[in-house]
Amino acid sequence: MEKKVTVRDIVKKKGREKIVAITAYDYVTTRIVDQAGVDIILVGDSVGMVVHGLPSTIPVTMDMMLLHVESAARARPRALLVGDMPFLSYETSIEDAVYNAGLMLKKGAEAVKIEGGSEVADVVKAMVRAGIPVMGHIGLTPQRHLLIGGYRKRGVRKPEAEKIIEDAKELEKAGVFSIVIEFTAADVAEEVTREVSVPTICIGSGPSCDGQILVLHDILGLSEQTPPFAKKYADLKTIILDAVSRYAKEVREGVFPGREHSFYSEAYNSREG
Ligand code: KIV
């Protein structure tokens, strides 16, 4: 078996090797993406929209995340398994935040991710003090889409760009081991990558980061709505549609199940001959 990827391995990759991260939400897909050799598997709260059909990530609960983390962890991936902290699991108090992050670890996550910059620095510090590795998430923070004016590009104007760079530095000081930068101007993400010593992992924020992350269902062509920065590497929707349509046709025409998918009693065989 290949060596397990640890938080330390991820940090050491900065400036040496690109980090490949992807989401997965369950046992089956975690096994497959892990076989593909990714470095980080994120059980993202995007599961709420992608799998459960919710309108945003705001309704996602700890119970949902714990179930998905537990399922993904059963695949015992070689990649580092990160559990995403859902909305309201780390904002109400530092005690709640540490407790909820601890529950993620108890279900098999090896680190947690939280959204926000300087405003969550104290939360990050407390989690790290408790022995919980934390991944930051700045730029577009979907759990705050109501506050920040929707799912819009970030860091285009100077004050916002400066705030993103400041946030990254605060998170680094607080102890995160890596930072996701979402839907942010590529030059700003590049500046953050230069300014912090921990790896930056980008989604829709250009090529200069230390790594990239995408949502699995987006790259497989299974998402209802795909963000403009996602690249579709396969069209599984068409493949599934075709397979299920052929199955339905064969059942209706009496072609499936054939003899090879059936078994018969001895009495039947003796009647046959
Ligand atoms: O929930 C998620 O999938 C994420 C990634 C898009 C970074 O936070």
User: Ligand 1, atom 4: nearest CA belongs to which residue?
Assistant: 44
Q: Could you give all domains of the chain from N- to C-terminal order, each with its CATH number?
A: 7-234 (3.20.20.60), 240-272 (no CATH)
Could you tell me the maximum CA-CA distance found in the chain, to the nearest angstrom?
86
Residue (of 70, 85, 64, 78) closest to 31 by Cα position = 78
Enter the tokens of residue 4: 């397990």
Supply the pLDDT for residue 208.
97
Mean pLDDT of 40-61: 98
Task: Report angle CA 41, 152, 61 to the nearest 5 degrees.
Answer: 45
Using a 6 Å cutoff on CB, does residue 46 contact ligand 1? yes
Q: What is the mean pLDDT of the segment spanning 55-70?
A: 98
Of the candidates 131, 105, 1, 97, which has an alpha carbon nearest to the alpha carbon of residue 43?
105
Output DSSP code: residue 184. Answer: B
Distance 18 CA to ligand 1 centre (A): 18
From 45, 89, 138, give the residue whose CB has the most ligand 1 atoms within 8 Å, as the site to mutate. Answer: 45
Ligand 1 pocket mutation, candidates 46, 85, 203, criterion most atoms within 8 A of CB:
46
Catalytic residue chosen out of the listed positions 170, 182, 190, 191: 182
Q: Residue 44 C-alpha to ligand 1 middle, in angstroms?
A: 5
- CA 23 to ligand 1: nearest atom: 3
Q: From the CA of 4, how far away is ligand 1's center (Å)?
A: 22
DSSP code for 154: B
On average, the pLDDT of the chain sits at 96
Strands (DSSP E) contained in 64-205 are 80-84, 111-113, 134-139, 178-182, 200-203
Q: What is the pLDDT of residues 81-94, one digit of tens each?
A: 999 999 999 999 99
* 221 φψ region: left (φ > 0), alpha (ψ -120 to 50), beta (else): left
Alpha carbons 197 and 36: distance in angstroms, whole number = 28
The CA distances from residue 181 to 9, 77, 132, 206, 211, in Å, are 20, 24, 21, 10, 10
Residue 155 Cβ contacting ligand 1 at under 6 Å? no
Ligand 1 atom having least distance to the Cα of 201: 7
Q: What is the pLDDT of residue 13?
A: 98
How does pLDDT run across 223-272, given as a tens digit for each residue?
Answer: 988 999 999 999 999 999 999 999 999 999 999 999 999 999 877 666 55
Residue 224's pLDDT is what? 86
Counting atoms of ligand 1 from 1, which one is nearest the CA of 57? 1
Q: Are 145 and 56 contacting, i.e. CB atoms less than 8 angstroms apart?
A: yes
> Could you tell me which residue, 266 or 184, shows the higher pLDDT?
184
Give pLDDT, residue 266. Answer: 78
Tell me, in angstroms, the distance from the centre of ligand 1 to residue 215's CA.
7
Q: What is the pTM of this model?
A: 0.96
Whether 170 sits among the annotated catalytic residues: the reply is no
List Cβ neighbours of 179 (8 Å cut-off, separation of 6 or more): 135, 136, 137, 138, 168, 171, 172, 192, 196, 198, 199, 200, 201
Contacts (Cβ under 8 Å, ≥6 apart) of 216: 22, 23, 24, 25, 29, 33
Give pLDDT, residue 2: 83
Q: Indicate which residue's Cα is closest to atom 3 of ligand 1.
A: 44
